[in-house]
Amino acid sequence: MKEIIDLLSAFVTDNKKRQIEKVLEERTKYLTVVLEDIYQSHNASAVVRTCECFGVQDLHIIENLNRYDINPKVVMGATKWVDMYHYCLPDINNSVSCITNLKQKGYRILVTSPDENAQSIDEFNLEGKMAIVFGTEQLGVSDDIMNMADEKVTIPMYGFTESLNISVSAALALNTIKNRLKSSDIDWRLSDVELETIKLEWYKKLVKGSDIIIQNYNKNKASEGVDEK
């Protein structure tokens, strides 16, 4: 992998390489976001942009009832830098499939809820990888996810209205959690392998004709191996 990164690096400006290194330093898979049946493209796109801005690399999209549509004017190119996983198979419960997958990967499932017994986003335990789930503003998350959740968390509010716009909720939650992680001793950053994997994918997206460059490199390398024999 490092050879291919070095190969493509020659086609990336020094300024862009420095920017990528700086961004990767703040990237995390320790925290991930799950969106269940979000149907308003403005909100859907705003959450993607929020995840990218706060360094969350993975976003899981559940589409049981509603298709997840992106508004390019809102997302501002954020989809290029994050990894989005869609759960949209017919005739299965995609919510259960998504949460089961995340639990198998060691994630705790947190649901945002106005429940008075929920823990404040400012105080809940940060130990252990976490996936925070957002549902629709009207209905919240489904009963399936609520039943599979490990914890409920809430964003403190001080007015008459019981809920925030989902994109605002995501921004507040991610900002709070990220700041708390940065102030902790928890190892929340990417592993070396994850860093290289993401860097390679970003270089591929930046370098025009990267697939052809890599293909020619591999052909030349294979040819050199034959010549040596």
Q: What count of residues does the chain have?
A: 229
Residue 229 has pLDDT above 60, yes or no: no
Q: Which of 19-33, 113-127, 164-178 has the highest mean pLDDT?
A: 19-33
> What local confidence, expressed as pLDDT, does residue 227 receive?
52
Residue 226 has pLDDT above 60, yes or no: no
Of the CA atoms within 13 Å of residue 33, those in its CB half-sphere come to 32
Per CATH, the number for 28-182 is 3.40.1280.10
Q: Which of 37-41, 142-146, 156-160 has the highest mean pLDDT?
A: 142-146
First to last CA, the chain: 24
8/214 Cα distance (integer angstroms): 8
118/173 Cα distance (integer angstroms): 14
8-state DSSP, 63: -
Q: Which of 56-65, 99-108, 132-141 has the highest mean pLDDT?
A: 99-108
Q: Give residues with Cβ within 8 angstroms of 11, minimum separation 6.
A: 206, 207, 208, 210, 213
Q: How confident is residue 162, by pLDDT bands cut at 50, 70 and 90?
A: confident
> What local confidence, expressed as pLDDT, does residue 113 receive?
83
Cβ-contact 24, 50 below 8 angstroms: no
Q: What is the mean pLDDT of residues 78-101?
A: 94
Degrees, nearest 5: CA angle 151-184-150: 10
pLDDT tens digit string along 34-71?
Answer: 999 887 778 888 999 999 999 999 999 999 887 777 77
> What local confidence, expressed as pLDDT, does residue 228 receive?
45
> What local confidence, expressed as pLDDT, does residue 42 receive?
81
68/84 Cα distance (integer angstroms): 11
79/69 Cα distance (integer angstroms): 12
Q: What is the mean pLDDT of residues 139-151?
A: 91
Which secondary-structure segment (H or E) carries 211? Answer: helix 210-228
Cβ-contact 58, 48 below 8 angstroms: no
Q: What is the mean pLDDT of residues 146-165?
A: 89
181/186 Cα distance (integer angstroms): 7
Q: For the CA atoms of the chain, what is the radius of gyration? A: 20
Average of per-residue pLDDT values in the chain: 90
Q: How confident is residue 148, by pLDDT bands cut at 50, 70 and 90?
A: very high
Q: Sort 56 into a burial class: Cβ within 10 Å, 0-12 / 13-18 / 19+.
A: buried
